[in-house]
Amino acid sequence: MKSSKKPIKKHISYSELKNWDDCAYKHKLIHIDEVKKFIGNEYTAFGKAIHDTCEKLLLSESFDSEKFFKHKFMYHLEDLKNKNINFKQDILQSMWDCGPNLPDQLLPALKEYLGDFETHDTELLQRIY
């Protein structure tokens, strides 16, 4: 007989923890019951690409942030396109143009706000500050 129990997760995202902290029932619906939820749009694709790029930057990896951002943005847009999500075409160009410039502002802003800091875990950084 097949068990209906899900395997125990070894890691949860900050977003999942935040959902649980906000409302345990909301967490159950989204992460346990897997009730259909918002899939995303061009704004979430942009946000994920920015997040991915800033995370890589915070981990002090040497890379071409503009190329990385554009690759990630296209990846997230393609994922949504494959799920039949339509985009507002007029906003995409502006996201494409301004996105690569945003990560360059991250380190100076963090240094101004936090002073000297060392990154150990980007999700942990979000939870503390």
Which of the four pLDDT bands, split at 50, 70 and 90, describes residue 3? Answer: low
Least confident stretch, 12-16, 85-89, 91-95, 120-124? 120-124
Each residue's pLDDT tens digit, 9-44: 778 888 888 888 889 998 888 888 888 777 899 999
Domain residue ranges of the chain, discontinuous segments joined by +: 42-128
Task: Report whether 93 contacts 26 (CB < 8 A).
Answer: no
Q: Has residue 117 got a pLDDT over 90? A: no
82 or 38, greater pLDDT: 82
How far apart, in whole angstroms, are the C-alpha atoms of residue 55 and residue 59? Answer: 6
